[in-house]
Amino acid sequence: MHFFVFKKSLFKLTIAFLTVCFSTAGQTSENRSENIADCFGAIELPLRTAISPVFTGMAGEQEDLKPWAQKLQLIERNALWFNFVAPFDGNFSFGGNTEKEPVEILVFRTTRDENCDAILSGKAELVNILFINENNRDFQLEEIKLGKEEKIFICINTSDPNKSSVHLTADFVSSDKEAAINSMMKIEDLRKDNSVPKFHLKFRDSKTGLPVNARIIISESKGFNAMYKASDMYLNKTGNLKFNLVVDAEGYFFKDLEINIRDEEQTEHTILMDPLEKGQQIELEGIRFKPQSAAFTEEAKPKLRRLRDFLAVNQSVNIEIQGHVLKYGRNSWRAIRLSSKRAREVKKYLVENGIDENRLSTVGFGNSKMKYPKPENDEQKQANRRVEIKIK
């Protein structure tokens, strides 16, 4: 009888133990919060792009910093989390400024196999703690060396409960630029005959020179009209190489252009993509005007539709439309008026075709910023009658 009771009690204890083990093992994955105030909801940091995320006004649903409480000056009250995964070996940097103080910034580094569990368990490497008070709201962390696929997690915590902003910029520079570029390249080889000379078409970031993986539509070519996804393309070079390109890449302004390579010696061509950054100045290639007029040339219409489509699918982008004219001599009132009218015509087209006018502003510079102050041919003259945009 006693043996039966003992076995029954042991069985209950075993079941209870297993229940606790299984429930504990699954607790982390089941209870992960994807709120940006929690580690598992960390915002992926864009590089070389100024961002201004807003605090949520809460500490999140998990006590992410509980294991690190003795190292903190502030309790976890109003937090934002960010992460970054190194695509190759390099150095990570991070800086910015805050609208409120005091603010505490914690920087964790984890291995490729670790994630927020390492932070919640207190096993992650705490690389840096930075405390910001009223004396200086600007901050810049020292560069952090990262191996490929190592991760950075950053928690920015403030004792102020308000939903204020923090302004941030991150960067990552490869320790081996050639290896970094090779790892980022996505090659589309369209050659049909390897015995024919190769032509290399490159898509690169206009600021960093790094490969940009773009969506590319080729038309008006001899045999390879299609849509591709690549940072680099190899083509056969047989005489004149001519086709049209429509290029889109996430985080970049679109490019539409004609490739017309007649030089037998030229073996490559680089297309520079402009990143979408506040203050970025971009020429709207192909949006030209008739002389002494705000009337578009016929070739401008497809470009206007392209700009409309770009703004329609990038709702967060606001622009300033800047008009320019061709005029010799001083920048007269008439020149400024004409350039302003050209900018307004672009805005009018966009508004009439579905773009919110609150996202658009206009300005005319007259002839004060001519690309060619002394144009030598009709092409240069036409280039002075142009529109540019500024990302706001």
Helix, strand, coil shares of the chain, percent, nearest 5, are: 25, 35, 40
Instruction: Supply the Cα-derived Rg of the chain in whole angstroms.
Output: 28
Joined tokens for residue 135: 């004396």
pLDDT > 70 fraction of the chain, expressed in percent and rounded? 91
pLDDT > 90 fraction of the chain, expressed in percent and rounded? 35
pLDDT for residue 29: 45
262 Cβ neighbours under 8 A, 6+ residues apart: 240
pLDDT for residue 65: 92
E strand intervals along 254-306: 255-261, 268-273, 281-288
Question: If you search the block for the tokens 């030089």, which residue do you land on?
Answer: 263
Region 67-95: mean pLDDT is 90
Is-contact 387 343, C-beta < 8 A?
yes
Is-contact 61 35, C-beta < 8 A?
yes
Count how many Cα atoms sit within 13 Å of the Cα of residue 329 in the half-sphere of its side chain.
Answer: 4
Is-contact 143 95, C-beta < 8 A?
no
pLDDT in tens, 8-26: 444 444 444 334 343 333 3
Q: Which residue from 368, 364, 370 is spatially nearest to 343, judged by alpha carbons?
A: 364
Check pLDDT > 90 for residue 134.
no
Question: If you search the block for the tokens 């001083």, which residue do you land on?
Answer: 330
Q: How many residues does the chain have?
A: 392
pLDDT for residue 68: 93
pLDDT for residue 335: 85
pLDDT in tens, 263-322: 778 899 999 999 888 788 888 777 877 878 888 888 888 888 888 888 887 888 899 999
Task: Give CA separation, 77 vs 26, 55, 60, 62, 109, in Å.
Answer: 27, 10, 8, 11, 22
SS3 sequence of 136-172:
CCEEECCCEEECCCCEEEEEEEECCCCCCEEEEEEEE
Joined tokens for residue 211: 């490969």
Strand 241-248 vs strand 214-219: parallel, antiparallel, or unpaired? antiparallel
Count how many Cα atoms sit within 13 Å of the Cα of residue 20 in the half-sphere of its side chain.
Answer: 6
Strand 78-85 vs strand 43-44: parallel, antiparallel, or unpaired? parallel
Joined tokens for residue 385: 């009658």
Is-contact 197 209, C-beta < 8 A?
no
pLDDT in tens, 170-180: 999 877 777 77
Interatomic CA distance for residues 321 and 93, integer angstroms = 33
Q: In what order do the strands lie in the sheet with 151-158?
A: 43-44, 78-85, 151-158, 103-110, 125-132
Region 131-139: mean pLDDT is 78
pLDDT for residue 135: 66
Interatomic CA distance for residues 148 and 87, integer angstroms = 6
Residue 15 belongs to what H/E stretch?
helix 2-30
